[in-house]
Structure 1
Amino acid sequence: MATVLVVEDQRAQREMIVSLLEQDGLRVMAAGDGDEALDLVRGGQIPDLVVMDVVMPRMNGYQLVRQLRDYPQTSQVPVLMCSSKGETFDKHWGLKQGADAYIVKPFEPQDLLGTVRHLLRTPRG
């Protein structure tokens, strides 16, 4: 069973994403911001995929994905950015920073699940 780390500062949004992923048969860890997410992975809890927001306090998603790419244990873990920042530049910048996919909020549950399934099946690198 794959493990997904959800990094989202908005509690309701985080709980909704966690619920969707768990209903799809995935094991889920959750973090309220980038610092908490880094604490988890540096503590040895390495996910198979990270789903993250972009706009978060203390450390935004762009900063977090760069940190994950620089950390040897997570350098190849796929990252899905999920954000209300939906301009073409936002998507381009997220992918340039190291994300593997980018979906815009609000999203359809099937779009999130389909992207998660695709990223878990696709070898990175």
Structure 2
Amino acid sequence: MEDKRGIKRDRLLLVGDELYTIFLILTYLESCGYEVASARSSQNALELLQVTTPDLILFCDDGVPLMDNFTFLKQVRGMSQTSKTPVILISSRNQTLEQAQSLNHEIDAYLVKPFELDDLKERIHSMIKQTVSPIG
């Protein structure tokens, strides 16, 4: 989608069911110029991915119903339109084992709550920039 000046806005998909966290992240990222869609469950997110392709997916795993984060990611990676889409997992679990498993499941970044919104914005910007113009 383009803004009023005709500049393409990066599209993000934010998945999670913790309303306060989703509202906070969504509001902040929209104020930074991103187009942000949100889904309250993994199933809703997969339905959205059938009709739109985001530039990056943010997955908040705290209590997301129906699927665990690795099952969801496996399905995202299995879709041709999102197989290379960067994914950031946001979690309140600060466990080394889970972080290692996340990397094994092709999660591109793992953020532990609490985190700074500016750090999230910089990480999103960097990951989208790498996807658009890869080095090498």
Q: Give the structure-2-normalised TM-score.
A: 0.86
- How much does 1:57 deviate? 1.2
Are 1:50 and 2:54 an aligned pair?
Answer: no
Are 1:16 and 2:24 an aligned pair?
Answer: yes
State the SS of the aligned residue for 1:69: helix
Specify the structure having the higher radius of gyration (Cα): 2
CA contact (8 A) 1:8 1:31 kept: yes
Name the residue aligned to 1:123. 131
Q: Which structure 1 segments of 5+ residues have no match?
A: none
- The one-letter code sitting in structure 2 at the alignment partner of 1:50 is I
State the SS of the aligned residue for 1:25: coil
Name the residue aligned to 2:4. none
1:44-92, Cα deviation, whole Å (9 max, x unpaired): 1110100001231111222111110011111011100011111111111
Name the residue aligned to 1:105. 113
- The CA RMSD over aligned residues, in Å, is 1.4
Identity of aligned pairs, percent? 31
Separation in structure 2 between the aligned mates of residue 74 and residue 41 of structure 1, nearest angstrom: 8
Are 1:2 and 2:4 an aligned pair?
Answer: no
Q: Which structure 2 segments of 5+ residues have no match?
A: 1-8
Separation in structure 1 between the aligned mates of residue 103 and residue 123 of structure 2, nearest angstrom: 14
Name the residue aligned to 1:65. 73
Separation in structure 2 between the aligned mates of residue 13 and residue 103 of structure 1, nearest angstrom: 13
State the SS of the aligned residue for 1:13: helix
Separation in structure 2 between the aligned mates of residue 23 and residue 86 of structure 1, nearest angstrom: 28
CA contact (8 A) 1:54 1:62 kept: no
Separation in structure 1 between the aligned mates of residue 104 and residue 94 of structure 2, nearest angstrom: 15
